[in-house]
Amino acid sequence: MRPIDWRIIATDGETRAGILKTRRSVVETPVFMPVGTQGTVKGVRFEWLEDELDARIILGNTYHLFLRPGHEVIRELGGLHRFSTWNRALLTDSGGFQVFSLTDLRKLTEEGVEFRSHIDGSRRFLSPEVSMDIQAALGSEIVMVFDDCPPGDAGFEKTLKSLEMTARWARRSKDKFNELQRDGADSGHVNLGFGIDDFGLEENPKSEIPDPTRISGKQALFGIVQGAGHLELRRHSLELTQEIGFDGYAIGGLSVGEEKSVMYEVLEYLAPRMPHDAPRYLMGVGTPEDLIEGVRRGVDMFDCVMPTRNGRTGGAFTSRGKINIRNARYALDPDPLDEDCPCSVCRRYSRAYLRHLYQSGEMLAATLISHHNLAFYLNLMKRIRTAIVDGEFEAFRTGFLAQLDNE
Please indicate whether residue 120 is annotated as part of the active site. no
> What span, in angstroms and rounded, lies between the C-alpha atoms of 121 and 211?
47
The residue length of the chain stands at 407
Choose, from 12, 93, 148, 247, the residue flagged as catalytic: 93
Q: Is 276 exposed, middle or buried (0-12, 13-18, 19+ CB in 10 A)?
A: exposed
Q: What share of the chain is helix, strand, coil (3-state, %, to 5)?
A: 40, 20, 40
CB of 325 closer than 8 Å to CB of 314: yes
CB of 310 closer than 8 Å to CB of 40: no
CB of 95 closer than 8 Å to CB of 131: yes
Choose, from 148, 186, 303, 338, the residue flagged as catalytic: 303
> What span, in angstroms and rounded, lies between the C-alpha atoms of 28 and 11?
14
Q: What are phi and psi of 42, to 5 degrees?
A: -55, 120
- CA neighbor of 280 nearest in space, from 230, 224, 318: 224
Angle subtended at Cα 128 by Cα 122 and Cα 134, rounded to the nearest 5 degrees: 65
Angle subtended at Cα 125 by Cα 124 and Cα 131, rounded to the nearest 5 degrees: 125
Q: How many CA atoms lie within 13 A of 83 on its CB side?
A: 24
Please indicate whether residue 183 is annotated as part of the active site. no
**What are the CA-CA distances from residue 111 to residues 240, 264, 372 (Å)?**
19, 33, 43
Query: Catalytic amino acids?
Result: 93, 303
